[in-house]
Chains A and B, each alone.
Chain A
Amino acid sequence: MAKITYIENNGNSKTIEVSNGFTVMEGAVQNNIPGIDADCGGGMACATCHVYVKEEWFNKLPKKEDGEEDMLDMAFEPNKFSRLSCQLIVSDELDGLIINTPSKQG
C-alpha cells in the first residue's frame, strides 16, 4: 500500500491509497482523478496516462523500458521527469510518491 498524491495542472491535489501491484494509472482511473485518460487501458500503446514525477522521486522509480521512452515521444509536452503512469507499479517503496498531471493528454 502506498499513499500517492496526484496534482492536477490547475493545482488541485488528491492523495489516494493505492494497493501494491496496481499501477499509478489505475489508482487515478479507479478513483476518478482527472487528467489521466489511459485510452489504451494500460497497454503502453497510447501515451495518454503521461505524468510528471516530482524530481526527488524520479530517480527512485524503476527505470523506463525502451517502449516507454518511445511512447513518451507521443505524449503531450513531455519533459525529463515524464513517465507513463501505467508503467509505475505501486509498492511500499512508492509511499509518498507525488506526480503532476499535464494540462492535457493530447
Chain B
Amino acid sequence: MIKTDTLIIGAGPVGLFCVHQLGIIGLKCEVVDNLDKIGGQCIELYPDKPIYDIPAVPGCTGEELTNSLIEQIKAFKTKFHLNERVEEIKKVEKKWITKTNKGTEFESSSIIIAAGVGSFEPRKFSTKEIEKYEGKQILYSIKDKTIFKDKTVSIFGGGDSALDWAIELSNTSKVILVHRRDDFRGMQASIDKINKLKEENKIEIYTKYQLEAVQGKEKIESINIKHDDKTIKEIKTDYVLGFFGLIMQLGPIADWGLNLDKKTVPVNTESFETNKEGIFAIGDICSYPGKLKLILSGFHEGALAARGCFKYAKPDEKYRFEFTTSSKAVKNRLGVEE
C-alpha cells in the first residue's frame, strides 16, 4: 500500500501542473495514468501540433508543453505509475483507498481526477464474433512477438503502428496487411518499405477492405474481409492485429458514485471538489457554469483543488497563502536558491 497525501489520476498537462501546486504547499502526491507516457492528450493526440494559448508561451507543441511541465515539477520527484488504470476507489474511515488494474494500492486523504475525457483505450474491431478471441488471437498491442513465428498474421490499419509491425513481422511470419483505403498514412520510409516487401512477395496487401467476419472454434481459423464494392474474400489466418489508434473512454470513473453530467463531473468552483468529500475533478473532465475546456483553465482549477486537498492532508494545520517569489518555505520545496 502506497501512502501519499493526494492521488492524481491523469498525467496530462493539468495533472502535471497540479503536482506543482500540491508540491509548493507541501503536499505529497503520486500520479496514475493509463498511457505509457506522461502528457495525456498533448502527447498522444497532438505532440507536434502547435498550441498558442498558454499564457506567456506564444507558441509550443504538445510535446514541448509536456516537457516544460515535467521540468517545472522535477524538484518534487513525483512517482508516476504509467500503463495503469485506476479501477476502484473506496473510503475507509477518513482515507481513500484506490486500486489499479495492475493491483497497485494507494491510501490518500484526497484524490484529484484530471483524466480529460477518460483513459485511452485501443479502438477495437466492430465485428460481433471478436470478443471470444480478443486477447488471444485478436490483439491491439504486441507484448511478445515470438508467438507469431511461422504463423499467418493479418494486420489491419494504415498508420505507423500497422506498417511498423507488418515490416517487423514479415521476417518471421506470413503477413497480410488490410486497410480501408489505398493510401497509407505512415512515414514515407515505411510506406516505401511496405511496397518493396509487396513486390518481393513477402507480404500481401488488401486495400479498400475491412473486417467483415471471423470464423473459428477455440481458435480463429479464417476471417472474411469485405471490399468497398461489397465483394468478400476469405483469408486463413492465425492472428488478427488491429491498429486503429486510441480512443478515450470514461471507464471505471463512471462507477464511483460521482455525479455525472454527460461524460463530465460537476464540481464547485471554490475548490473543484465533487459530490464526494475529498475527491476533486479538474481539467476537461470537470464541469461547472462557464467551463472552458482550455489547458489554462485546468491550471487554475488545479491550483484551487490543491488548496482544497490541504485540509484533508493536514487537518490540524491552517493553510497559509504564500508566493513563490518571496516564500522561503516554498523556495525550499522547489529546491531553488535564495
* Interface residue ranges, A against B (CB under 8 Å): 37, 39-41, 43, 45-48, 69-70, 73-74, 76-80, 105-106
Interface string of B141-185 (1 = CB under 8 A from A): 000000000000000011100000000000000000001110101
Contact A45 B45 (CB under 8 A): yes
Q: Contacts A73-B185, A74-B123; is A43 near B45 (CB within 8 Å)?
A: yes
Size category of the binding interface on chain B: 20 to 34
| The residue from B41, B49, B247 contacting A106, defined by CB atoms under 8 A apart | B247
Residues in A whose Cβ lies below 8 Å from that of B326? none
Please list 26 pairs of residues, one from A and one from B, whose beta carbons are closer than 8 Å in the complex, sorted by A's number: A39-B247, A41-B293, A43-B45, A43-B46, A43-B49, A45-B41, A45-B45, A45-B46, A46-B45, A46-B247, A46-B248, A47-B245, A69-B181, A69-B183, A69-B185, A70-B159, A70-B185, A73-B159, A73-B179, A73-B244, A73-B245, A74-B247, A76-B126, A77-B126, A77-B210, A106-B249
Identity of the chain A residue whose Cβ is nearest the Cβ of B44 in the assembled complex: A45
A37 vs B248: C-alpha distance in the bound complex, in angstroms? 10
| The residue from B45, B126, B228 contacting A40, defined by CB atoms under 8 A apart | B45
Identity of the chain A residue whose Cβ is nearest the Cβ of B294 in the assembled complex: A41
Q: How many whole Å from B197's CB to the nearest CB in chain A?
A: 20
Q: How many whole Å from A58's CB to the nearest CB in chain B?
A: 14
A43 vs B293: C-alpha distance in the bound complex, in angstroms? 12
Residues in A whose Cβ lies below 8 Å from that of B25? none
Identity of the chain B residue whose Cβ is nearest the Cβ of A106 in the assembled complex: B247
Identity of the chain B residue whose Cβ is nearest the Cβ of A77 in the assembled complex: B126
Residues in B whose Cβ lies below 8 Å from that of A37? 263
Identity of the chain A residue whose Cβ is nearest the Cβ of B118 in the assembled complex: A39
Q: How many whole Å from B150's CB to the nearest CB in chain A?
A: 30
Residues in A whose Cβ lies below 8 Å from that of B228? 79-80
Residues in B whose Cβ lies below 8 Å from that of A80? 228
Residues in A whose Cβ lies below 8 Å from that of B49? 43, 45
Q: Contacts A45-B41, A76-B126, A78-B180; is A39 near B185 (CB within 8 Å)?
A: no
Contact B293 A73 (CB under 8 A): no
CB contacts under 8 Å to A, within B93-122, are 117
Contact B181 A39 (CB under 8 A): no
Contact A76 B123 (CB under 8 A): yes
CB contacts under 8 Å to A, within B184-234, are 185, 210, 228
A26 vs B115: C-alpha distance in the bound complex, in angstroms? 23
A90 vs B179: C-alpha distance in the bound complex, in angstroms? 31
Residues in A whose Cβ lies below 8 Å from that of B117? 39-40
A79 vs B49: C-alpha distance in the bound complex, in angstroms? 27
Contact A39 B293 (CB under 8 A): no
A105 vs B41: C-alpha distance in the bound complex, in angstroms? 18
| The residue from B41, B126, B157 contacting A73, defined by CB atoms under 8 A apart | B157
Q: Contacts A45-B41, A46-B247; is A106 near B46 (CB within 8 Å)?
A: no
Contact B245 A40 (CB under 8 A): no
